[in-house]
């Protein structure tokens, strides 16, 4: 946290040094990012991502969309538009935040973006199946995503029972767990642990972590078997599968 001198923010453990929450999902032929955070440029440089097929968005909050302008580098090298997948609410926020990318008469060099509307129907990007999962960030609907046997959920504090069924059977899960104290729109660490146990997911990592949670080493050591705190650079092998429908690149 900017200007903070707590033991987490000054920790020498690289696992306590975190950028904003995002994931990279990669198969043999397709590379996807979930959310373009304000740290998007540095995240792509740090991870050495030379090619990106698409960005899938969870919701329109600034910490999940603000880095979208930097897709212009991928446009330049691929000579292709960046395909983005978002629900209607998030589409509206993106167009409002980056109007120059959608103007009728564009200034040279602005991002080239092609929007693909999504809802709760499964779809495919390249060879990666994607199943949207509706979760609640207080009163805001947010999309989590299941990729084969891996589920990713951020910015949530409630999941309705029908949507929980989409998660069951996952072998791996990433879930937000902000801090110990109750929060208005995020799961606490204890709530996240309870939910993972309820859903029967054997391997879970907790993300979207506040410095208020405590040191990575201490908190991770106290979690139940199969549960861990996530950290920047973590790699989790997954196996895409399941019934989906195809969304063609041209919409």
Q: Which of 100, 118, 136 is the last residue of a domain?
A: 118
d(Cα 245, Cα 216) in Å, to the nearest integer?
39
**Residue-wise DSSP of 82-125:** EEEEE-HHHHHHHHHH-GGGS-SSPPTT---EEEEE--SS-EEE
The pLDDT score that the predictor gives to residue 20 is 96
Reading the block at residue 74, the tokens are 């991928």
pLDDT of residue 246: 30
- Tell me the per-residue pLDDT of 92-101, one tens digit each, with 9 for 90 and over: 999 999 999 9
Handedness of CA 119, 246, 73, 232 (dihedral sign): positive
Q: What is the dihedral of CA 149, 58, 206, 184, to 10 degrees?
A: -140
User: What's the pTM value of the predicted model, to 2 decimals?
Assistant: 0.93
Distance CA 40, CA 35 (A): 8
Q: Are residues 222 and 133 in the same domain?
A: yes
Instruction: Read off the tokens for 117.
Output: 């509307």
pLDDT in tens, 120-166: 999 999 999 999 999 999 999 999 999 999 999 999 999 999 999 99
Structural domain containing residue 138: 128-232
**Same structural domain for residues 61 and 134?**
no
Count of the separate structural domains present in the chain:
2
Residue 65, in any domain of the structure = yes
Same domain, 110 and 170: no
One domain for residues 198 and 228: yes
Q: How many helices (H) and strands (E) does the chain have?
A: 7, 12
Q: How far apart are alpha carbons 34 and 32 in whole angstroms? A: 7
pLDDT of residue 238: 74
Mean pLDDT calculated for residue range 63-71? 98
Residue 188 reports pLDDT greater than 80: yes
Residue range 16-28, pLDDT digits in tens: 999 999 999 999 9
Q: How far apart are CA 122 and CA 132, in angstroms?
A: 6
Please determine, for residue 66, whether its predicted confidence score (pLDDT) is greater than 50.
yes
CATH number, residue 206: 3.60.15.10
**pLDDT at 32 (0 to 100):** 97
Q: Round the average pLDDT of the chain to a whole number and report it.
A: 94
Beta strands in the chain, from DSSP E residues, in sequence order: 23-26, 31-34, 54-56, 82-86, 113-117, 123-125, 128-137, 140-147, 150-153, 172-176, 203-207, 227-229
Per-residue confidence at 167, pLDDT binned at 50, 70, 90?
Answer: very high
Same domain assignment for residues 138 and 114: no
Q: Can you give the pLDDT at residue 241? A: 53
Q: Does residue 226 share a domain with residue 147?
A: yes
């Amino acid at each position: 946290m900017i200007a903070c001198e707590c033991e987490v923010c000054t920790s020498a453990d690289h696992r306590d040094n975190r950028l904003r929450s995002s994931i990279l999902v990669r198969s043999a032929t397709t590379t996807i990012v979930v959310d373009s955070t304000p740290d998007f440029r540095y995240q792509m440089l740090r991870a050495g991502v030379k090619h990106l097929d698409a960005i899938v968005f969870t919701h329109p909050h600034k910490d999940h969309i603000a880095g979208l302008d930097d897709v212009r580098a991928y446009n330049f090298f691929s000579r292709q538009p960046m395909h983005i997948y978002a629900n209607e609410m998030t589409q509206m926020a993106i167009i409002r935040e980056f109007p120059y990318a959608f103007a009728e008469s564009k200034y040279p060099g602005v991002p080239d973006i092609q929007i693909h509307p999504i809802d709760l129907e499964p779809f495919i990007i390249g060879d990666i199946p994607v199943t949207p999962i509706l979760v609640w960030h207080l009163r805001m609907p947010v999309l989590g995503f299941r990729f084969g046997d891996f589920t990713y959920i951020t910015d949530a504090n409630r999941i309705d029972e029908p949507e929980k069924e989409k998660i069951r059977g996952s072998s791996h899960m990433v879930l937000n767990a902000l801090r110990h104290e109750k929060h208005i729109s995020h799961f606490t660490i204890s709530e996240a642990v309870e939910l993972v146990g309820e859903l029967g997911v054997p391997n879970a990592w907790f993300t979207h972590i506040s410095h208020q949670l405590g040191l990575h080493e201490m908190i991770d050591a106290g979690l139940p078997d199969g549960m861990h705190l996530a950290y920047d650079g973590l790699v989790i092998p997954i196996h895409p599968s399941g019934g989906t429908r195809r969304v063609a690149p041209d919409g």
